Amino acid sequence: MNKIGIIINPKKPQARGTLRKLVNYLNKRRKSIILEKISARLVQRPRLGVKDNRAYQRCDLIIALGGDGTLLRAVRMLKGKEIPILGVNLGGLGFLTEVTLGELYKTLSDVLADRYRLEKRIGLEATLYRGRKRIATSTALNDCVITKGVLSRLIRLDAFIGKEYLTTYAADGLIISTSTGSTAHSLSAGGPIVHPGIPVIILTPICPHTLTNRPLIISGEEEIRIRIASSHPDVALTLDGQEVIKLKERDVIRIRKAPSKIGLIVPKRKSYYQVLRKKLKWGGITPLSSK
């Protein structure tokens, strides 16, 4: 791995010091580094700043320094390129950024020596149709969320799985998430936690009017079709909390598994269940001996 792209959240308190130390570490190992312009200015290395984010799509490794939002931004910048991403948490909850700042250099040393575990996660591809016209296509790692604005009136969403009608949701919105995104917005709306290695799609209604409309897990090979069935003036599709597309009555959103997977580097010394226990603060009770 010779060409390394670094994406950082410059608003984090330790961003400047962390980035400067990391750049020095990689320079000593004669690695080619690229940064966003704002990050290059932050550490007074303007030559490393790139004008076009497409430069990241030619890297061998991406390091995302920040939180889950920073990693999701990195995924969007790669636009489907299967480049390994190392997510480093600079504070906060961070389910995707599993590596702590204290673990960064040990983990990075293993990665550069080709000693690492790569998990390939499915993403979602959402395409918006207005009549017969295709308006937009975009991808998400965590979720595609259809929500209403500030008006309290419910929205109605006709949902189809493949060619079969499922139901009409009367709710504040609907979250369509991957198993990776099951610990994000879906979890806060009462959705299940699903191991990220299971390639499924989860439909989680937000405050449904009919209480029997519960979260539903379907195969990742299915296509979901959502039709906006109400004339609510302020409905939008949000992808990974990063991109917002305004919707109109009778718009149709087709959501399916993205054509390429996202490769996340995870520490060999951690399991997913360890991450759950730590992030969700489970435990406190010592398990009984198995003997």
Return d(Cα 274, Cα 154) in angstroms, integer.
39
Return d(Cα 103, Cα 61) in angstroms, integer.
17
Catalytic annotation on 60?
no
Region of residue 30 (left: phi > 0; alpha: psi -120 to 50; beta: else): left
Residues 6+ apart with CB under 8 A from 11: none
Task: Output the CA torsion 259→140→186→68 (10° steps).
Answer: 120
Which pair of structure tokens corresponds to residue 140? 């998400």
Name the H helices within 68-172. Answer: 68-78, 104-112
Return d(Cα 226, Cα 116) in angstroms, integer.
39
The structure tokens 């920040």 sit at: 66
Return d(Cα 183, Cα 198) in angstroms, integer.
14
Catalytic residue, from 52, 60, 68, 234: name it.
68
Name the residues annotated as catalytic.
68
